[in-house]
Structure 1
């Protein structure tokens, strides 16, 4: 699919009784686009950001850019897949997708399943009409409608915003900021200042919702990105340390070891075996 993305959008229907998991799929990799999947039937077993995902019933699934993933086993699959880059996404949807950066597959059935099937089918059909005068804007608008459906269903599966506690409101705002700034902002005070609240109150909110401190959440987000880079790239630990905003590689190495329970090189070697 990435090779076929063309104008920054590609939509396809995939149907196969058995899929050979070649090296390109089985090796960990990542893309710089958003991926939206409707699995209508079949069995898919994948690994995304070091967590296994099994789908055996009709489900939708969103994968954000840069998540490291690989296929483990796929059987009797019927699915639609859409890949789309940032430039073709609505700015409002792009912001909302930041809240869905690490979501699980969501089972879907009945009228909702039919609506996703119809919308995917329309987008796939439009994707086959590149000579039409208004091909790209029509395709873009239709695909954004599909993205809106994904966002709507994922948000419905969570607690309604109007029922959020004051702690959850702050925690969600913090999570959005963290996703954008974890490389450049490492201190709880940086996030508290942007949220116009005190550090103690921010810590109170994050502990109430997650059970952990703000510092812990910042470190975990950095370590996740470090794992992605160690798994996917050949960059040295020193280079990864610099990429993630740590000028002192020794400090970064200690932080990684404390969080992951092994050194960065041990993690790379373990996952490349």
Structure 2
């Protein structure tokens, strides 16, 4: 059963609550009855599979997740998921501002932990006692989400905060815990700046200037902690955005090139081929996704 989070009514994004939580079973049941699931593309989305299998298509890749795996999707990413009939788990979506209102420090920890781990796959496995504790909190969130009593929003924020603390604890146990070093801080700042400027800044020296370090030092540190050079990350971020524009908006080569700061479409076409290994026209006609399994 395929579910997308591109929710639009008459061409406009539907007005949705800043926090939604559903069991995977209820999403399946609603989909069978023709109901549109409330999974907005402008929100963070956390999929926690307790059992069964969930197939997630994210941008140009496919991931298979199952027992006690948590997968997180950023706002704006092209996303669909296919839920196995026997799958159990939860889907929690929330606006970035919502978690910031809940706890600014927790919001920062969540973004750094999940999306600055120098790993392109935002996935973790839940272990031990945390499974039952997190499931209990998620069940209480669903119960509160479905009622109309006073102070409902405040209680939901409290439950979300507790749930996210458990998630961040698991991430910390699951990672190499390099977040406190000066080098990792520099790399996180680089990725932050890359996210802001990938369409306008394409040279290593431009990011080095922003971060007040030499290009060679920035490249050495990024390669040491991420396994890839600064140039590689810049190129792949541009290619990823180009693919999104094709998948989401059906952009042409010329439109994509101009939107990403390339004034010569032919130059962009060569850039895309060199960085992705595939011709832009061939990609637009029909791309091949890579499937990864987390079981």
Tell me which interval the TM-score lies in, with the shorter structure as reference length. Answer: 0.7 to 0.9
Could you list the runs of 4 or more consecutive aligned residues of structure 1 that deviate by over 4 angstroms after TM superposition?
1-5, 18-22
| 8 Å Cα contact 1:21-1:71 kept in structure 2 | no
Structure 2 residue 280 is the aligned partner of structure 1 residue 264: yes
User: In the TM superposition, what are the counterparts of 1:1-273 in structure 2 within 5 Å?
Assistant: 6-15=16-25, 31-71=41-81, 74-90=84-100, 91-99=104-112, 100-101=114-115, 102-130=120-148, 132-161=149-178, 164=181, 167-271=183-287
Q: Secondary structure at the match of 1:15?
A: helix
Distance, in Å, in 2 between the alignment partners of 1:108 and 1:120 is 14
CA RMSD of aligned residues (A): 3.1
Q: Which moved more, 1:105-114 or 1:242-251?
A: 242-251
**TM-score, structure 1 normalization:** 0.83
Distance 1:138 1:38, change over 3 A: same
In structure 2, C-alpha distance between the alignment counterparts of 1:228 and 1:134, rounded to whole Å: 39
Alignment size in residue pairs: 265
1:79 CA displacement: 1.1
Worse overlay, 171-180 or 37-46: 171-180
> Following TM superposition, by how much is the alpha carbon of 1:88 offset from its aligned partner in structure 2, in angstroms?
0.9
Per-residue deviation, 1:256: 0.6
Post-superposition CA distance 1:233-265 (Å, at most 9, x none): 212222222322333322222111111222222
Deviation at 1:114, TM superposition (A): 0.9
Structure 2 gap segments, 5+ residues each: 8-13, 290-295
Contact 2:130 2:166 in 1 (8 A): no
SS at match of 1:109: coil
1:21 is displaced (CA, Å) by 8.9
Displacement, 1:10?
A: 0.7
Shift of 1:179: 2.4
Indicate the SS of the match to 2:169: helix
